[in-house]
Amino acid sequence: MVIFKKKCMFHNLKGSSSKPRAWNIRLNKSLKSLNFMKCSQEQKASKEFKQQMMKDFELTDIRLLMYNLGIEVDQRKGCIMLKQLTYAKKLLQQFKMTECNPTKYAMEAKLQFRKDAEGSLANSTKYRRVIKTLRYLTRTRPDLSYVVEIVGSYMEKPTMMHNQAIKHILHYLMGTTSYGLKYERGEVLKN
């Protein structure tokens, strides 16, 4: 992966009213001067292209993506893994749940949620903060999506019953911090 450095992206294009268009024209000229051809997948051609672009523009080669916005990316031959192990551990640490006992299920079976008008109110600020952090975790944890949305629907007036459900989710998270998404290369299906 190659990233253009912001400060030099439009360095020679100052004063131009259509900088993106001017940038595209300059990039196209550079590619044509290299006799660049579409869909070339040869590694040697790719390396030469990168080297030439680094001469013409200020670039940073960051190689394979490994970490982005709290999501850890593990790229291997034929598969990509996305997970938020570090984020999950920080979440448990933030809410003082690092010593809790893990559970197998994110929510108790047949648990009935309702607005508990008679129940004692929980700290709604802390409740919302936990929900927000759990929602970000669902980016790589679809197993949490449903239960987080269920408990999230009671953010207006959470009671201790709703707070207990969140603690149960955190207990589940404790035993599943390394879970994530796995994308494997498959065969192309033909009609």
pLDDT above 70 covers a percentage of the chain that reads 80
Q: Given this model, what pLDDT does residue 85 score?
A: 94
Q: Given this model, what pLDDT does residue 12 score?
A: 45
Q: Given this model, what pLDDT does residue 60 score?
A: 73
Q: Given this model, what pLDDT does residue 16 score?
A: 46
Domain boundaries, the chain: 2-61, 82-180
For the stretch 49-67, what's the b/e string if a residue is b when 16 or more beta carbons lie within 10 angstroms of its beta carbon? beeebeeebeeeeeeeeee
Return the closest-CA partner of residue 144 out of 125, 182, 152, 90: 152
3-state class (DSSP) for residue 132:
helix
Q: Using 70 as the pLDDT threshold, list the residues of the chain that sit under it.
A: 1-20, 24, 36-45, 61-62, 117, 189, 191
Cα–Cα distance, 135 to 176 (Å, whole number): 16
Q: Given this model, what pLDDT does residue 74 score?
A: 92
Q: Given this model, what pLDDT does residue 97 score?
A: 94
Q: Given this model, what pLDDT does residue 3 score?
A: 45
Cα–Cα distance, 181 to 142 (Å, whole number): 8
Q: Given this model, what pLDDT does residue 18 score?
A: 56
Where residue 63 falls (left for φ over 0; alpha for ψ -120 to 50; beta otherwise) is left
Amino acid at 26: R
DSSP output for 18-82:
-HHHHHHHHHHHHHHHTT--TT---HHHHHHHHHHHHHHS-EEE--S--EETTEEEEEETTEEEE
